Structure 1
């Protein structure tokens, strides 16, 4: 498989930024579908796919989500074209006969709530990262955040799905590059890595 070119690497990693402000350019519903169609193809353990997304596009739904946020996150949620709840379904194993049909993977998790919780958190976090990368690949920006009351988000958005819980939130739109601050430092390989 050939390496992707420098322009793509810049867009996905080297020049990509986290956004707190967006332009007025709208995000179409087709963009949301396009993000999902990319992120769903990325790997999760045993194809678990525990992420459950709520795409808040109306002011009403964004206001409901903003009410669950802390600090200035509420303002960011309200101002963004779209705000997204990345949730995790701890009963993801119920779908494994469909998503991982060649072995009885459901039995690995049946009766083991602790394992399901750990797997749902780990793999929905992966899917949240894939969401960010898919959005970048499609020319959109994101603003992931963890400053919110998870219980309040669960009550507001997942009351009818008691096995689904909020993992994190992200805003989504066409990032306003004029509002970006200087890029924060990134460490050299030797600082946080070792080859064993």
Structure 2
């Protein structure tokens, strides 16, 4: 591994989903630094469909909480910052600028809405993982959640209909008083990898 043992631990081995956060704010500059790092993660045709909505106000948190699953509702108030991660379903409009090597890519996605939506959601999922690892690299803790009404949340925060919520992430600094769940079992190499 090229990364030091400490870096590997920070990003993966010692990192946990966080449920308890300190009250220390997360600044726009910190999130900008995370974005400036993780924007280099690969996506199909460099499409970069992930869009990030930072939820800071009490009013926006109430609107968000209304769409969360019952077990996740109380979590929304525990972090100094919450991000709604969404897939831009019209990401293809940026392809001429982002992927000039294929001038027909935009037109292909224009004709194939189902393929475009599937690509947007898949690649935004990849970028969600990069975002979480980027938060860890910045010394921030993440509490990603998938338990929410995606259609309702999308309509609430993206009423124009061109974005689809894929994840909600609590962001802050881990509170020492918060105990993580014990490290759960991970599948071994032999359980995951097959050679043909």
TM-score category (smaller protein) = over 0.9
Residue 77 of structure 1 is matched in structure 2 by: 76
Q: Cα RMSD between the aligned structures?
A: 1.3
Structure 1 runs of 4+ aligned residues shifted over 4 Å read none
Matched position secondary structure for 1:116:
helix
1:132 is paired with a residue whose SS is helix
Aligned residue number for residue 154 of structure 1: 154
- The normalised TM-score by structure 2 is 0.94
**Residues 126-177 of structure 1: CA distance to partner in whole angstroms, max 9, x if unpaired?**
0100110100000001111111111211121000x31111111111111224
After superposition, the C-alpha distances for 1:59-99 in whole angstroms (9 at most, x for unaligned) are: 22122111110122111112211111110111110110111
CA contact (8 A) 1:63 1:78 kept: no
Partner of 1:136: 136
| Partner of residue 34, structure 1 | 33
d(CA) in 2 for partners of 1:102, 1:118: 22
Which 5+ residue runs of structure 2 have no aligned equivalent?
Answer: none
**2:76 is aligned with 1:46:** no
Which secondary structure does the structure 2 equivalent of 1:110 belong to?
helix
- Paired position in structure 2 for 1:12: 11
Count residues in correspondence. 194
